[in-house]
Amino acid sequence: MRNNTEEQAQLLVEALPYIQKYYGKTVVIKYGGNAMINEEIKALVIRDILLLSLVCMRPILVHGGGPDINKMMDKVGLVPEFVDGKRVTDSKTMEIVEMVLAGKTNKRIVGLLNSLGGNAVGLSGKDGSLINASQLSDRLGRVGRVDNINPKVLFDLMDNGYIPVISSIGMGDEGESYNINADHIAGEIAAAVQAEKLIMMTDVDGIFLDMKDPDTFISSLDTKKAAELIKSGAVSKGMIPKVEACIIALEGGVKGTHIINGTKPHSILMEVLTDRGIGTMIEKDAANE
């Protein structure tokens, strides 16, 4: 028992300089994957975010919700269609995407945060004209790209002690809705608010040169190397937008970006509040600083 108590005390001592370092600083967290599906993991993630808020950091949570969208489409008899990993989004699909992401998924996260004593507010890109968007391509329908982030509503909320929880819906010039990749939104928002950190949660430990070989894990790299890995195909599929988001954030002035395994208990706290850190850190290419 004594050794366990001493270990817990040591963890608290180790966290202190990081609490001081990030006091009052903004941390953007992209939340998704199995960390959103598994209820036990979800509760741990939400508690981690709440703890960051309670020690006077300013977390912003960005989320997607592909599995929830697929379930609702199945209920109404619609078959999802994907092109190059992107969901083809016609008008009917867009209605479901907005209903699920800005409604069910977003409010479920907000409710959980608030039930544990947090002060969370749910937003989509339409609220406060937060995310201005335009169509990515005719083939994909209402899939959008981020044109501009208006962070005023986020600063207003954080300045008054609230945790913004943002669904990945953007708004066009005429008020129309766009389905946007949540990873890209997280990167753009992190840049717009000049976040201290961007944390991308996924289902693997980070970047590997070969996903089948754990010995090829990369603990840190710069944006130049990250872009090369995308071009070579070593970074592929769902990892591409996560790495792209980190590059967007770093080029926009964010100080540090991290891709971590959100299915591991307290992965956010391990990244922010310990000497060890976890996952893959992507830094700005020193030659371009």
DSSP one-letter string for 219-267: SEEEHHHHHHHHHHTSS-TTHHHHHHHHHHHHHTT-SEEEEEETTSTTH
CA 113 to CA 136: how far, in whole Å?
Answer: 33
CA distance 101 to 87: 14
Percent of the chain exceeding pLDDT 90 equals: 71
pLDDT of residue 191: 98
- Rounded Cα distance, 111 and 119, in Å: 10
Could you count the other beta carbons within 10 Å of the beta carbon of residue 232? 10
Domain count across the chain = 1
Residues recognised as catalytic: 30, 33, 66, 183, 242
71: which residues sit within 8 A by CB, 6+ positions away?
none
- Evaluate whether residue 12 is within a structural domain: no
List the alpha helices (DSSP H) in the chain. Answer: 2-21, 34-37, 39-54, 66-75, 91-98, 106-115, 152-159, 182-192, 223-232, 239-251, 267-273
The ranges of the chain with pLDDT < 50 are: 1-2
15 located within any domain:
no
pLDDT score at 61: 97
Per-residue tokens: 261: 């395994």
Which secondary-structure segment (H or E) carries 281? strand 280-283
Domain that holds residue 55: 21-288
CATH number, domain with residue 257: 3.40.1160.10
Looking at residue 216, what is its pLDDT? 92
Q: For residues 244-265, b (16+ Cβ closer than 10 Å) or e, as one string?
A: bbbbbbbebebebbbbbbbbbe
Q: What was the pLDDT predicted at 220?
A: 92
The answer as to whether 132 is a domain residue is yes
**Cβ distance 199 to 260 under 8 Å?**
yes
CA–CA separation, 266 and 47 (whole Å): 9
Whether residue 14 lies inside any domain: the answer is no
- Prediction pTM value: 0.93
The dihedral through the CA atoms of 80, 85, 90, 95 has a sign that is positive
Q: Are strands 256-261 and 280-283 parallel, antiparallel or unpaired?
A: antiparallel
The pLDDT value recorded for residue 15 is: 86
